[in-house]
Structure 1
Amino acid sequence: MAAPIVTLATSADLPNLDADEAGLPDALRARGIEPRIAVWNDPNVDWSASDLTVVRSVRDYATDREAFLAWAGSVPRLLNQANLMEWNSDKHYLKELGERGLPVIPTTWLEADVEYSKHQIHTRFPAHGDFVVKPAVSSGGRGTGRYTATDAMSRADAIKHASHELRHGRSVMVQRYLSETDRSGELSIVYLNGLPAYSVEKKAMLHPRFRSVDEVQDEDVVTSSPASEQEFRWGEQIRSVLHKYISEKCGRDELLLYNRVDIVRGIREGESEFYVMEISLMDGSLYLSADPENLNKFADAIAVRAFW
């Protein structure tokens, strides 16, 4: 029996995958799989020659989302599935999940097809505390900035930032910055083939004057460990809402190869225990180098699907 061919899809600026995933080809080879790496928009790649294609370091998808989604729709046996990546590549999905009862960070949406005056943008910012401005379609923290509501200069910069994104046809998210993020950081729960595999604690990435225009931002992992009972409970609440939505959207419950959920804890009385910051079904790091077992678990998950 020939070894199944698994192609790992990446971007032109990461032709050998992200450094976090450098050990993945060898791990797959050790499991009887022939691994290949290919750039998603390379016209010379025959994607039908693979038994399975796994989307990984496609950090540039947001710069040409339509072309990326057209490519995804043309690839046989793609994981995660193309229709789910289309949904996940626009962060309006948070609005949909919030309407279904999932606790998401409070967000105001500025839509690209509406002409806003500077005053109208100004009135949509919070009156107190810090807040974040970012485009609804982005990858790796590009186009993200943190601002202070009560600082006139910071607020003016936020207006310029939002106006810039809107002028380029990109819808904008304005999110309240949760102060607990600075104290306890962010938490990512990684699911593999529908099951909780591990969790990662990360330092807060957005310092008070943070602004990322073009460069992908590196995340600082603090610890990686199996999901705790509390994290498992939170993850199951998120997974239940997500998979119910997927089932309704697709007519069936698609089994995700991987799913990373980023959350921040809530601390105020009467608030939720946690808030969902992001759900990543495509390009988000899985922190494979944070613990050797993370790499092995992901390779095992791919092998299950490759030999399915």
Structure 2
Amino acid sequence: MDVAIVTYAGLPQLDAYDAPLLPALAALGLDARPCIWDDPKMDWRTPKVAVIRNTWDSHLRRDAFVAWSSKVGRLTRLYNPPEVLRWNTHKAYLRELEAKGIPFTPTVWVPQGGTADLGALMRERDWDSVVLKPVVSAGALKTYRFPRAELQAAQSCLQSLAAEDEVMVQPYLTAFETEGERAYLFFDGAFSHAVRRPPGLKDSPRGFQQPHLFEPIPEELRLAEDVLAAVGQPLLYARVDVATDNQGRCRLQELEVTEPSLFLSLDPEAPGRLAQAIARKL
């Protein structure tokens, strides 16, 4: 096997957005197969390269996933590398990027077992609604939005989340409701395509329902490139998610370099670009 495309048991044949990668690799003469990351029968010495794609239960078992990546990284070439996966699966990486000058959504970090006075925080910062999320999360899991009128429920939710792990408190960005979130996709450091996505929070109003391609906005593309430069090492794939804050400024939301959807099926040329980037690693 040349390439293991790493997924999880819930998507043994890959997500529809990622499935076009297999024929694109086959067109280059490469033997590429989906492989489940925690399959006990899998010998990770077999593939020449392993590429993380749809390991969409990794946030539920982060310690196991990080340990697995460390082990597999010693047996084959794993992308993105184990140290990147460890770093990116805990949202404290966003603090590091902000410290390097990347404009990031204003965030109050509440330590595990700690608390914050959300009412005072919202008054001081003039936030009409807050978003609470744990530092290990994906797909908006355990992510909640509360307006000022639901302050008591918000405070209770914060206490519950903080009992388990560190928590991020952020303002709710109203631009999500019309503009959504913009994802800038890069393969081997080169820009590939841009996708506009609806809000991840299911109770947020949506100006559109489905992800779709859009022409990159120069200011946002520059920010995405700055984010990758701040990482300080090459990445096989990266998705930089940006959004407009409540003052109209572009801000980083997430740098997704573990198992993000890359929306390959939306751009006919994207599967080939990623396949070529993978082939260069062989």
The answer to whether residue 270 in structure 2 is matched with residue 291 in structure 1 is no
Structure 1 residue 70 displacement after superposition: 0.7
Equivalent of 1:240 in 224, 229, 239: 229
Give, in whole Å, the separation in 1 of the partners of 2:280 and 2:120: 47
Give, in whole Å, the separation in 2 of the partners of 1:129 and 1:287: 33
Give, in whole Å, the separation in 1 of the partners of 2:220 and 2:19: 28
Give, in whole Å, the separation in 1 of the partners of 2:169 and 2:114: 16
Counterpart amino acid of 2:129?
D
Corresponding residue number in structure 2 for 1:178: 173
Equivalent of 1:57 in 26, 44, 54: 54
Corresponding residue number in structure 1 for 2:145: 146
Give, in whole Å, the separation in 2 of the partners of 1:158 and 1:24: 42
- Figure out how many residues of one structure are paired with residues of the other and give that number: 273
Give, in whole Å, the separation in 2 of the partners of 1:205 and 1:229: 24
Give, in whole Å, the separation in 2 of the partners of 1:60 and 1:36: 19
Structure 1 residue 64 displacement after superposition: 1.4
TM (normalized to structure 1)? 0.82
Corresponding residue number in structure 2 for 1:161: 157
The answer to whether residue 13 in structure 2 is matched with residue 10 in structure 1 is no
- Please, which runs of 5 or more residues in structure 2 have no aligned partner? none
8 Å Cα contact 1:135-1:170 kept in structure 2? yes
Corresponding residue number in structure 2 for 1:86: 86
Q: Deviations over 1:232-288 (max 9, x none)?
A: 322222222222xxxxxxxxx3x20001000012463xx7x4100000111111111
Q: CA 1:299 to 1:97, structure 2 compared with 1: closer, same or farther past 3 Å?
A: same
8 Å Cα contact 2:119-2:151 kept in structure 1? no
Matches within 5 A, 1:1-308: 5-75=2-72, 76-112=76-112, 114-116=113-115, 120-123=116-119, 125-127=121-123, 128-148=127-147, 150-151=148-149, 154-167=150-163, 169-206=164-201, 209=203, 220-225=209-214, 227-243=216-232, 253=233, 255-266=234-245, 268=247, 273-306=249-282
TM (normalized to structure 2)? 0.89
Structure 1 residue 223 displacement after superposition: 2.8
- Please, which runs of 5 or more residues in structure 1 have no aligned partner? 211-218, 244-252
Structure 1 residue 158 displacement after superposition: 2.1
Q: CA RMSD in A?
A: 2.1
8 Å Cα contact 2:188-2:277 kept in structure 1? yes
Give, in whole Å, the separation in 2 of the partners of 1:228 and 1:139: 26
Structure 1 residue 55 displacement after superposition: 0.5
Identity of aligned residues (%): 31
SS, match of residue 279 in structure 1: strand
